[in-house]
Amino acid sequence: MIDLHCHLDLYPDPIKVLDEVVSSGMFVLAVTTTPSAFSGDVARFGGASRVRVAIGLHPELAHSRMSELPLLEHYISLTSYVGEVGLDGSPDFARFSKEQRKAFDLALRSSALRGGRLISIHSRGAAAEVLESLEAHPEAGVPILHWFSGRVSDLKRAIDRGCWFSFGPAAFRSASTRSMVARIPRSRVLTETDGPFAMNRDVPLRPTDVALAEAALAKIWSAPASEVRSQLVENFRDLVGNVKSGHAHDKSGRSYFDH
Ligand code: MN
């Protein structure tokens, strides 16, 4: 199983969650919400062979963390994985669009400068703006739009732009998301949880709950569970292969998800 967007560091019991991840043999991209969290997360989680820590600055926090921009830029030079970054146009955060844009543009510019990164991107209420930024930085790497909820026209543009998409159990509860996922080429879809922010019946999702996302995909694709699983594994290898052509290794030279 694959959880391509999980806030491993925000669980009350991160080491227990990490143990679950390791014993299940699944792959996890542990995204961060602030640059200052990155080094501690690498120390705690970086030893697990199928876990990678991404350097991020969440758009909801960007305005309060402008002082961490140099740190964001610095860590992007050291890792192949960037996230969570992006833009948020929802009512509570649209007023900070200037700061959000500054952080997101820096992340894309730095990624491009380093030959491209795998980037997990938040685009709530700002899909068109995120796509504009991606188009302005075509060398930034491989964008994965996480929990995409834009319009169908934005979706088409994102597919044409080469974006990937990750969806989790919480996203699949929405009928409009399910119909949107049906429009995405199967080869560009991946699973995530966005735990512990995202919940299932008021309980924070844990990485192993991506099984629920696989079940949702089985319905949307009218495919048996085994076929869904193998499609996702194939997608994942393809995604990682894309990054490999650029900078597919972490600081220690390990290639991503050696197995
Ligand atoms: Mn998130």
> Cα(234) to centroid of ligand 1, in Å?
24
Q: What is the mean pLDDT of the chain?
A: 94
> Cα(223) to centroid of ligand 1, in Å?
28
> Cα(225) to centroid of ligand 1, in Å?
26
Q: Residues with Cβ < 8 Å from 258, sequence gap 6 or more?
A: 49
> Cα(220) to centroid of ligand 1, in Å?
23
pLDDT, tens only, 142-177? 999 999 999 999 999 999 999 999 999 999 999 999
> Cα(20) to centroid of ligand 1, in Å?
20
pLDDT, tens only, 59-106? 999 999 999 999 999 999 999 999 999 999 999 999 999 999 999 999
31: tokens are 């995204």
Residue 259 pLDDT grade (very low, low, confident, very high; cuts 50, 70, 90): very low
Whole-angstrom Cα distance, residue 201 to residue 154?
A: 30
Q: Under a CB-based contact definition with an 8 Å cutoff, are residues 109 and 134 in contact?
A: no
> Cα(8) to centroid of ligand 1, in Å?
10
> Cα(85) to centroid of ligand 1, in Å?
9
> Cα(6) to centroid of ligand 1, in Å?
7
> Cα(58) to centroid of ligand 1, in Å?
8
Closest Cα partner for 141 from 180, 85, 63?
A: 85
Q: What is the dihedral of CA 144, 149, 154, 157, to 10 degrees?
A: 20
> Cα(244) to centroid of ligand 1, in Å?
24
Q: Residues with Cβ < 8 Å from 6, sequence gap 6 or more?
A: 28, 29, 30, 31, 192, 193, 194, 195, 207
Beta partners for residue 55, in sequence order: 82
Whole-angstrom Cα distance, residue 177 to residue 200?
A: 16
pTM: 0.94
33: tokens are 């919400």
Q: Under a CB-based contact definition with an 8 Å cutoff, are residues 80 and 110 in contact?
A: no
Mean pLDDT of 100-118: 97
